[in-house]
Amino acid sequence: MKSIRTIIVPYDYSEYSEGALARADGLAQQLDSDLHLLHVIRPPTYVYAGELGMGFVANEASDSRALNVDAHICRLEVVASQCGVRADQVWTHAVEGTGIADSIDAEAERLRADLIVMGTHGRSGLAHLLMGSVAEEMIRRASCPVLVVPAESGARAQTVHWETNRYPASNSL
């Protein structure tokens, strides 16, 4: 069985990614794995002004994009410092990408990830139809296993314990 050496956690500062990070941090400690926090920054939105005959950035100036990446790295480093794994095993990454799943997949390939641990908002119905699910897309396309940590509704999620049968299998059906 392949060992899990590199775990990626797509992190968007939400309670859902906090839950995923908690699970990934515990796994990384148990398996002595590297933990990579990844934030995907959406590029600026361009608006076309027909009467002006040109497009312009609606939400941020182009020269501030590098500062935005640095700001997210600093913010992720604060989160990383609160993880239980050794400091030399936690890495932070902020990348700009048009598609969140595309960016996560590209970083997982680049880092040769063994596992992606991500939270899900648990949307269903119309909300899921309109907004889609990055977790669902990652399950379909990732080249490594994806552990999806569901949104907890109210009570804490219970830990599941299981035992294997310790008796040899019989030859009869």
Q: Which residue ranges form the domains of the chain, and what is each CATH number? A: 6-149 (3.40.50.620)
Classify the C-alpha dihedral 162-2-33-116 as positive or negative. negative
C-beta separation of 38 from 104 below 8 A = yes
Which residue has better confidence, 54 or 111? 111
Compute the distance between CA of residue 106 and CA of residue 104 in angstroms, rounded to an integer.
5
- Residues above pLDDT 90, as percent of the chain: 47
C-beta separation of 93 from 110 below 8 A = no
pLDDT tens-digit map of 57-113: 555 555 566 678 888 999 999 999 999 999 999 999 999 988 899 999 999 999 999
Give mean pLDDT, residues 10-32. Answer: 93
- Give Rg (Cα) of the chain: 20
Confidence of residue 42 (pLDDT cuts 50, 70, 90): confident
Distances (CA, A) of 12 to 21, 52, 94, 170: 11, 36, 10, 50
